[in-house]
Structure formats: structure tokens, C-alpha cells
Homo-oligomer: A and B are copies of this chain.
């Protein structure tokens, strides 16, 4: 009998005892509010999946009062005080969807005798989870809408990616992207602007009813602009309506937005030693324990372990504090921009302007816009916090060796991007492509798109592969090999463009 099997047997035995002894007692303590009960009466029929899902949630099993009774380090809520009547009922439909009516002036509406709002926002969640919501407001993700759409450089990329191109016989006519395509593409992850644009009467199983019309709906992007003006959607990672910590801690959640060639974090993780162990033996892990004990509750990190979770060792000593900023342990920004660079100071990056007047944290040469980026000292502190996590399982030289490779990986991938930039500049100078010097769209021609892939796909992939130890993605799968090949192809492309220019 393996230790894991023994653990299972013990667990089962314990569960049986607990269940028989505590089952009914537990249930009777968890009062459902009268309002929530009314919701349930209809929605058990109208949207049975949501109701059944919620019934499996911790929200449905626990009152805030019970949650507060736990020792601080085991709590999943971060407020100190919750007033009646909220504190003594489980967190049900009405508790969230009627929360803060004053803040929902724009989107509240009458629904069967209740004033409710469809979009539960971070401000609502802050009633019980204020620290997490405040933290998240300093997370780049909370600004994901504006950082993309209000950044003129990136807006052009969005338009070129999602907008229509029409072949004219000699070239292409480009149209900007429409809202619906954007919502279905970039903004599915970055978040849309959700506003009430009117009311509508709909036929339902319960007869005709009035509902607000929401713009750019549905959406659960991390940087969603909510009708109440708040930013973000907690449900991006904490799936409705179980809001399970288990789901948020699993890498599949992050994979929803971090798997593509532009940010291959999940793919890299999945071929790393960490990802292997997670897939191979996580059936023996406890993804729900708070705090999370290294080596006992889990034997390899998931995304959450390194970037967000509160971790303790077997003695209960804290290795890492919980962080919904998610950059407390990240000195570098290694993806999404032409060059890897120190993390930006502010979550809102639209105010960063380089010498050339572009909203970018570096020049096209790679030189940093230092004033907008964290200091070397701050980088060192973040590095130290991350190394503390690693030290749960790795000796010092292992950790130092790992991170010195990341430094080199940043250096070499930035070098390879610079070469691609110089090829593109040459093409612009010779008029073989129409870009910045011509005041033209710098992102819509094939050579320009190959340049973007050099950093957005391959440079990123190399750095992620190093940072997270998923080596395939640092070599042949969009890694150093592809980085080298794309550069060679850009060189030849320049020649081909020259050869295909009309004779003058």
C-alpha cells in the first residue's frame, strides 16, 4: 500500500465519520436568505445548471460569520467585519446580485420584486474580499482594456488583426475592427466595456419580463469595464458559480488566456517538470487548503503557487504572501512588448511614452523608458520573493543558476528582436514597406507582421521557456530555432521585396 493510498484510506475513513456525525447539523446551520430562496424557486427551473453549480460552492455552504470564525491564516475572506443580515446567511443569489444598489445606479433594475444587477463587479465582491480587490486594482490585468485599446500603438494592431482587409488588385484596403469582432477576439481576455444601453422586454418561461440591454455582452475579461465603473471580473479566474479556489489554482484557468503563441505560459508549463508532476499526481493533492502547505498539499507548483497563493511550510511559516497584484514576485515583463524590460511601475501603461513619441516602455532600439519602470532595487526585492518560493523545494545554487539563465535569455532574445527591427527599418527606409517613416500603418504588411512575430511570438516563447523551465518552447516550438529562422526569412524577404519592385 503506497503512502498515497494510505492517505486516501484515512481520508475516506475520516470523511465517513465526519459525514455521519456532522451532516445534518452542518446543513441546518447554513441559512439561505429569504430573498435568495425566492431566486432559487424560479431559477432551479430557468437556469438549473447555475443553481446546481452554486449549491456545490463554498458560498452555498458557509456564512460570513462562520468564515470569520476561522484563524486568520485559514480565512478565505479578508474583511474583519460583516454586518447583519449578511453575516448570518450563506452567500446566495440575492446577496451578490442585490449588493450595493447605490453603486449600481446605471445597471440596477426591478426583477420580480427585487432590485438587482446582472453584472456582479469587483466592488460587490469587495464586501467580503476587500484586500483581494484592492490588490487586483494594482495588477496589470485590471487595466487590460485600456492598456490595449487606449494605447495608440496597440490599437493599430487590434484594428489590423480583427479588421477586414480587401484586395484591390495591387494592394489592400484596410478597415478598422468592429466592436463585435474585437469582443470576440482580443477583448474576450482583455475585457469589454459593458454598459446599459436600454431596456428590453423578453419572453421567458415565466412570461414577459424586462431586462437591461448590456453592451458588448457577454464578457468575463480580466479588465472588463463594468456598468458600475469598476474594472475587472473576478469570475475570469474564479468561475461562476462555484467560485472554487481549486479551479483558480489549477493551470487550466490561466490557460484560457495564456496559451497562445503570444503568451505560451500554459504550453511551457505543460512540458516543464512542474507541469509533468502536476498532471501525473495531482489527484493526491489538496487544492482547497488555505493556507497551502508546500510538499504536503502539493508537490509541484501551479501558476497560482508562484504568482498568487499564500504558501506555508510544514511548520506553518509563511513562504509567500497571497497577492492578487500578481507582480509582487515578478521583476521583469517578458511578453507583449518588443523588448523584455523591468516591470512597469503603474498598472496603467498608457501614459508611458518613449522618446520617439510611441506609447511603448522602450525605444525601437530596446533602450528603456526608465522613469516608467521599476527600479533595480524593487526588481531585486521581487526576485527575492520569488526565490523564497523556489526555495521550498530547491537549493540555492539551483535557484540562482535558473535565474541567471533567464537574464541571458532576456539578453539574447532582445538582441534577436533588435536585428529584426533593423531589417524592418531598412525596408521602411527603402520604401519596400510603408511604416513609421511614411506615417503609414506600421503593422499591416507581411514583413511588418513577421517583425511582430519575432518578438510577440518567438522572443516571448524563448523567455517563457526559460522562466518556467519548459524547454521545448525555447528550442523548436516557437523558440530559438524559430527566432533564428524568422530572422533569416526576414533577410530574404527584404531581397525578394527589392527584386519585385517595379522598375523605375
Stretch at the interface among A270-278, A348-356, A362-370: A270-278
Within 8 A of B (CB), among A233-286: 239, 242, 244, 246-247, 250, 252-253, 255-257, 259-262, 270-273, 275-277, 279-281, 283-284
> Does A288 make an interface contact (CB < 8 A)?
yes
- Chain B residues, Cβ within 8 Å of A472: 256-257, 259-260
CA distance A260 to B482 in the complex (A): 12
- Chain B residues, Cβ within 8 Å of A12: 9, 12, 15-16
- Chain B residues, Cβ within 8 Å of A473: 260
> Does A314 make an interface contact (CB < 8 A)?
yes
> Once the chains bind, are B161 and A481 in contact (CB under 8 Å)?
yes
Closest residue to A319 on the B side, CB-wise?
Answer: B48
- Chain B residues, Cβ within 8 Å of A10: 19
A13, A280, A402, A489 — which one has the most chain B CB atoms within 10 A of its CB?
A: A280
> Once the chains bind, are A415 and B164 in contact (CB under 8 Å)?
yes
Summarize A's interface: helix, strand, loop or mixed.
Answer: helix
- Chain B residues, Cβ within 8 Å of A167: 419, 422-423, 487, 491
A313 and B484 in contact (CB under 8 A), knowing A1-B15, A164-B412, A415-B164?
no
* Copies in the assembly, this chain: 3
> Does A28 make an interface contact (CB < 8 A)?
no
> Once the chains bind, are B19 and A16 in contact (CB under 8 Å)?
no
Stretch at the interface among A120-128, A214-222, A377-385: A214-222
Q: How far is the CB of A402 from chain B (nearest CB, A)?
A: 6
Closest residue to A261 on the B side, CB-wise?
Answer: B476
- Chain B residues, Cβ within 8 Å of A184: 405, 408-409, 465-466, 471, 474
CA distance A257 to B6 in the complex (A): 32
CA distance A477 to B267 in the complex (A): 12
CA distance A206 to B272 in the complex (A): 31
A288-314 toward B: CB 8 Å interface, digit per residue (1/0)? 100001111001000000000000011
Q: How far is the CB of A453 from chain B (nearest CB, A)?
A: 8
Within 8 A of B (CB), among A451-504: 453, 456-457, 465-466, 469, 471-477, 479-481, 484-485, 487-489, 491-493, 495-500
In-complex Cβ contact of A276 among B47, B214, B239, B276 (8 A): B239
- Chain B residues, Cβ within 8 Å of A456: 476
> Once the chains bind, are A218 and B45 in contact (CB under 8 Å)?
no
A277 and B60 in contact (CB under 8 A), knowing A188-B471, A492-B497?
no
Closest 7 CB pairs of A and B: A52-B295, A49-B393, A499-B500, A9-B15, A260-B472, A188-B471, A48-B313
Return 25 A-B CB contacts under 8 Å, by A number.
Answer: A2-B288, A3-B57, A4-B56, A9-B15, A44-B314, A47-B391, A48-B314, A49-B393, A161-B480, A164-B415, A165-B488, A167-B422, A172-B419, A172-B487, A185-B471, A189-B471, A217-B397, A220-B273, A250-B279, A250-B280, A260-B477, A262-B475, A446-B488, A449-B488, A456-B476
